[in-house]
Amino acid sequence: MESPNRRLKGCRLNGASAFATAALLLVSACGPAAAPANTAPPAAPALPSIAPPPSSLVAAGSGIVKEGFPGEAKALNGAGATFPAVLYSKWFNEYEKVTGVKVNYQSIGSGGGIKSISDATIDFGATDSPMTDEQLKAAKNGPILHIPAALGAVVPTYNIPELGGQQLRFSAGSLTGIFLGQITKWNDPKIAEDNPGMTLPNKEIVTVHRSDGSGTTYIWVDYLSSVSKEWKDKAGLGTSVNWPVGLGAKGNEGVAGEVKQNPYAIGYVELIYAIQNKLGVGLVKNKAGQYIEPNLAAVTAAAAGAAKNVAPDLRVSIVNADGDASYPISGFTWLLAYQNQNDKAKGRAITRALWWATHDAQRFNAELGYAAVPDDIVRRSEELILSITTAGGQRAFPHQLPGR
Amino acid sequence: MDLASSEATRVAQRQGPTPVIGGGTNVGDRIFHLAVLSAAQSVLVLLAALVVLLFIDAKEALGRFGLSFLTTTDWDPVFEKFGTAHFVFGTLVTSLVALVLAAPLAIGTALFLAEYAPRWLREPVAFVIELLAVIPSIIFGLWGFFVLAPIMRGYVEPFLKATVGQVPVLGELFSGPAIGKDLLTAGVVLAIMILPTVMAIAREVVRSVPDTQREGMIGLGATKWETITGAVLPYARSGLVGAVMLGFARAFGETMAVTMVIGNSSNVISASLLTPGYTMASAIANQFTEADKEIYFSAVVAVALVLLLVSVIINGLARLLVWRGAGNVATRR
């Protein structure tokens, strides 16, 4: 991990520029791209499905990987996270058309992805929760790099028949209180505080969480632990935790089904899942004190808002990010690759695929419901990809870049 | 551990070393002999390999937690504390509920089909019930999730709370809020799933009671009811117990359908059937994919090992009882 650190010093962004990017994204997000959102049925609070605009910085790196390259491996094997599996299958399908390199991706879960890359039984891994220092140390072939591939967000969804179409607002305090089992009724003053003028029922809250280990849970509890010390000490952070209260259900569909069936239930689901199924979702108060409607632009804004505090290895959490427009419950999903690629042909193929994934492929994200990685982060990913070496310490990425 | 394979082994054992006609002089015979021998051996090797592999992966967790793995109820991947008492409890309780509901129904049906039903009715009814056995468990799960659970929450559980729930002691079984995703609902789904297994075996057992027994009772002037309680049931008892135990074993390992209706939470062991719970199988299914730490993975495998061992024990007991029942019949005939 030494060399990327050194390389990255030159490209650290200041806060102002990160914020400018966030603002820019938001402005354009409110433009014509947002129009289809108005067609959502009025019964469920409308979730605008906004495609973040194509960005110029990323465009600069696009188009470098546009055809096959002599001497690169013609097949790559990857495995890991299930959350981005739909996106990856689209990506790699396109990638084969562009370069003729076949990339097999098996969505076996983040845990499996980490295990497989550590044992070096696959060429690249994928995970929703960053590898721990311990896991990194245990990896067979040396340092592993985390390359952000897309962004996910998790939203609170609830079922309160009395509310009709009104959207609830949540603060960090009310969400942690509910999931710790300390807030047990919907008319609790803590919830009412965020929702002035709304009549909340005097009913018991039923909380629903994921029963299977999941990146969705990771992002959710990452938020809860970052805003509440009590949560951190009691339940902690992981893809599955020891829940103080509530029902467990398998998958996004299980949680959504459970919430739909049980009046006065609250659960959390992947943003994309909520958009596609037009679930009623709550607004969440961010660090800047704004109640943010969850959508893709607000997620990209969060990543941009967090960019200035990002560790050079990109193993970062972006929950509760700075920025007026940032949605606070979001996180990256990463591709994992070894920094030292012994096999030259494989090294070429992997770096080229990673480069394509972080640049050209990002345009597929929005149409499939994933937020694109913001430019500042892509810039850092570039440095990481360029730091990948092959036998003899040579740079594995075969293309010449101006000035690098 | 499925019926067919152990049935085959049993037949093979019973017949012992088959006297080979032409005593190995024929090359084809010898080859065939070796082929079937290796087929039989490979099944045993597979089973042994399975247990050994499970044991290797589970060693870390078993070594670290020892007996407390079976006696504590913490399952905390974040802070690396693993106890499975609540999984074992959930498994036992749901399977028991299933038995209590399914056994009378299954044995009653079996008696009706074997003793009362007119000949033309027997086969069609048995066929329909046995059809239940081929429905994939995920379908029971979906039905449980979308149909049964709302009914349990809206009608059955409030009713039970209002009636049995008011009785002291027994009422403890139905305390707490009615959620619909709990041990009771899981037990009901399991009951439906094990019904065909228990019914089919029970029917065979009842049918295998020799007619001389019935004739004896009738000859003494007994009524139909007395014949059944006085001759058929005592004769078939151990076989029936075995049938029920096999149903229990099936309920024990059922995964998908249970996972969908049991609530998958709570590490509290409480007397109430209305609490959401967890079974060993549903815990494995839920936790396996994202078990990213060594110790976590090892703990999940250890749960599998515990489940396997308990299932083998129950299955073994059941088989012993069925064999004894069937053996009695064979010798008395």
Looking at residue A188, which CATH number applies to its domain?
3.40.190.10
Report the percentage of chain B scoring pLDDT > 70.
89
Using the Cβ of B144 and the Cβ atoms of chain A, whether some distance falls under 8 Å is answered with no
Measured distance between the N- and C-terminal CA atoms of chain B, rounded to whole angstroms:
30
The C-alpha of B262 sits at a distance from chain A's nearest C-alpha, in angstroms, of 9
Alpha-carbon gap, residue A364 to B47, rounded angstroms: 47
Dihedral, CA atoms, A118, A121, A124, A129, nearest 10 degrees?
-40
Residues of B in contact with A82 (CB under 8 A): 289
CA neighbor of B47 nearest in space, from B86, B1, B106, B103: B1
Alpha-carbon gap, residue A390 to A2, rounded angstroms: 16
Residues in chain A: 404
Interface of B with A in 146-175 (CB under 8 A): 146, 149-150, 153
Alpha-carbon gap, residue A89 to A30, rounded angstroms: 30
The C-alpha of B327 sits at a distance from chain A's nearest C-alpha, in angstroms, of 46
CB–CB of B263 and A247 under 8 A? yes
Burial call A236-254: b when 16+ CB within 10 Å, e when fewer? bbbbbbbbebbbbbbbbeb
Alpha-carbon gap, residue A107 to A86, rounded angstroms: 9
The C-alpha of B160 sits at a distance from chain A's nearest C-alpha, in angstroms, of 19
Alpha-carbon gap, residue B325 to B81, rounded angstroms: 45
The C-alpha of A240 sits at a distance from chain B's nearest C-alpha, in angstroms, of 7
Which two structure tokens, joined as six digits, stand for A301? 């804004």
Residues of A in contact with B181 (CB under 8 A): 247, 249, 258
* Residue A245 main-chain phi, psi, to 5 deg: -140, 170
The C-alpha of B128 sits at a distance from chain A's nearest C-alpha, in angstroms, of 31
Which two structure tokens, joined as six digits, stand for A56? 């110029």
| Residue B326 lies inside a defined structural domain of this protein | yes
CB–CB of B265 and A248 under 8 A? yes
- The alpha carbon of residue A235 and the mean position of all alpha carbons in its chain are separated, in whole angstroms, by 21
Query: Quick one: pLDDT at residue A170?
Result: 96
The C-alpha of A242 sits at a distance from chain B's nearest C-alpha, in angstroms, of 5
| Residue A353 lies inside a defined structural domain of this protein | no
Query: Quick one: pLDDT at residue B21?
Result: 54
Dihedral, CA atoms, A211, A215, A216, A220, nearest 10 degrees?
100
Which two structure tokens, joined as six digits, stand for B220? 């003494």
A67 CB-contact burial (10 Å; exposed 0-12 / middle 13-18 / buried 19+):
exposed
Which two structure tokens, joined as six digits, stand for A108? 């076996």
Choice among A26-30, A280-284, B167-171, B212-216 with the minimum mean pLDDT = A26-30
CB–CB of B77 and A242 under 8 A? yes
CB–CB of B290 and A109 under 8 A? yes
CB–CB of A110 and B290 under 8 A? yes
Count of other CB atoms within 10 angstroms of residue B172: 14
Mean pLDDT across chain B: 86
Is the distance from CB of A376 to CB of A21 less than 8 angstroms?
Answer: yes
Closest chain A residue by Cα to residue B290: A111
Residues of A in contact with B288 (CB under 8 A): 109, 213
Using the Cβ of B72 and the Cβ atoms of chain A, whether some distance falls under 8 Å is answered with no
Is the distance from CB of A144 to CB of B321 less than 8 angstroms?
Answer: no
Query: Quick one: pLDDT at residue B14?
Result: 53
Which two structure tokens, joined as six digits, stand for B241? 């117990």
Alpha-carbon gap, residue B94 to B189, rounded angstroms: 9
Q: How far is CA A363 from CA A107, A220, B104, in A?
A: 22, 26, 62
Q: Which long-range contacts (CB under 8 A, 24 or more apart) does A11-19 make?
A: A11/A379, A11/A380, A11/A383, A12/A308, A13/A307, A13/A308, A13/A376, A13/A379, A14/A308, A15/A308, A15/A322, A17/A376, A18/A304, A18/A305, A18/A307, A18/A308, A18/A376, A19/A304, A19/A305, A19/A322, A19/A323
Using the Cβ of B5 and the Cβ atoms of chain A, whether some distance falls under 8 Å is answered with no
| Residue A140 lies inside a defined structural domain of this protein | no
A347: region left, alpha or beta (phi > 0 left; psi from -120 to 50 alpha): alpha
CB–CB of A115 and B263 under 8 A? no
Is the distance from CB of A378 to CB of A386 less than 8 angstroms?
Answer: no
- Number of structural domains (chain A) is 1
Measured distance between the N- and C-terminal CA atoms of chain A, rounded to whole angstroms:
19
A165: containing domain: 34-46+152-305
H-type alpha helices, A313-343: none
By Cβ distance, the residue of A109, A110, A247 closest to B265 is: A247
Is the distance from CB of A391 to CB of A344 less than 8 angstroms?
Answer: yes
| Residue A354 lies inside a defined structural domain of this protein | no
Residues of B in contact with A236 (CB under 8 A): 76, 78-79
Query: Quick one: pLDDT at residue B171?
Result: 86
Residues of A in contact with B263 (CB under 8 A): 247-248
CA neighbor of A210 nearest in space, from A48, A82, A43, A369: A82
Closest chain A residue by Cα to residue B292: A111
Q: Kindly report the CATH number assigned to the domain that includes residue B112.
A: 1.10.3720.10
Alpha-carbon gap, residue B36 to B39, rounded angstroms: 5
Tokens 């084809």 sit at which residue? B28
The C-alpha of A113 sits at a distance from chain B's nearest C-alpha, in angstroms, of 9
Alpha-carbon gap, residue B319 to B242, rounded angstroms: 6
Helix/strand/coil for A179:
helix
Q: How far is CA A346 from CA A66, B98, B280, B308, in A?
A: 18, 55, 42, 42
Closest chain B residue by Cα to residue A212: B286
By Cβ distance, the residue of A213, A242, A262 closest to B289 is: A213
Dihedral (CA of A17, A22, A25, A31) sign: negative
Per-residue 3-state assignment (H helix, E strand, C coil) for B136-162: CHHHHHHHHHHHHHHHHHHHHHHHHHH
Q: How far is CA B7 from CA A64, B11, B17, B19, B47, in A?
A: 64, 6, 17, 21, 16
Residues of A in contact with B154 (CB under 8 A): none
| Residue A247 lies inside a defined structural domain of this protein | yes
How confident is the prediction along chain A (404 residues), in pLDDT tens digits per residue?
334 443 333 333 344 444 444 443 433 333 333 333 333 333 444 444 444 444 454 556 788 888 888 889 999 999 998 888 889 999 999 999 999 999 999 988 888 888 899 999 999 999 988 998 988 998 999 999 999 999 989 999 999 988 887 899 999 999 999 999 999 999 999 999 999 989 999 999 999 999 888 888 999 999 999 999 999 999 998 888 889 888 998 888 889 989 988 889 999 998 888 888 888 899 999 999 999 999 888 998 898 888 877 888 898 888 998 889 999 999 999 999 999 998 999 999 999 999 999 999 999 998 888 889 988 899 999 999 999 998 888 889 988 887 66
The C-alpha of A211 sits at a distance from chain B's nearest C-alpha, in angstroms, of 6
Using the Cβ of B187 and the Cβ atoms of chain A, whether some distance falls under 8 Å is answered with no
By Cβ distance, the residue of A114, A127, A236 closest to B78 is: A236
Probe site for chain A from B72, B147, B290 (most A CB atoms < 10 A): B290
Residues of B in contact with A204 (CB under 8 A): 177
| Residue A322 lies inside a defined structural domain of this protein | no
Which two structure tokens, joined as six digits, stand for A248? 């467990």
CB–CB of B78 and A114 under 8 A? no
Residues of B in contact with A250 (CB under 8 A): 259-260, 264, 285-286
Is the distance from CB of A264 to CB of A206 less than 8 angstroms?
Answer: yes
Q: How far is CA B305 from CA B5, B44, B82, B93, B300, in A?
A: 21, 17, 15, 19, 9
CB–CB of A209 and B267 under 8 A? no
Is the distance from CB of A282 to CB of A158 less than 8 angstroms?
Answer: yes
The C-alpha of B269 sits at a distance from chain A's nearest C-alpha, in angstroms, of 14
Probe site for chain B from A135, A243, A258 (most B CB atoms < 10 A): A258
| Residue B252 lies inside a defined structural domain of this protein | yes
B182: containing domain: 48-332
CB–CB of A212 and B77 under 8 A? no
Do the strands A330-338 and A124-127 form a parallel or antiparallel pair, or are they unpaired?
Answer: antiparallel
CB–CB of A241 and B77 under 8 A? yes
| Residue A9 lies inside a defined structural domain of this protein | no
> B81: which DSSP letter?
E
- Number of structural domains (chain B) is 1
Closest chain A residue by Cα to residue B297: A111
Residues of A in contact with B259 (CB under 8 A): 211, 250
Residues of B in contact with A249 (CB under 8 A): 181, 264
Interface of B with A in 236-295 (CB under 8 A): 259-260, 263-265, 267, 276, 278, 282, 285-293
Task: Name the most confidently modeled range: A61-75, B187-201, B311-325.
Answer: B187-201
Alpha-carbon gap, residue A92 to B76, rounded angstroms: 36
Which two structure tokens, joined as six digits, stand for B136? 């994939």
- Tell me the pLDDT tens digit for each residue of B40-54: 999 999 989 999 999
| Residue A83 lies inside a defined structural domain of this protein | no
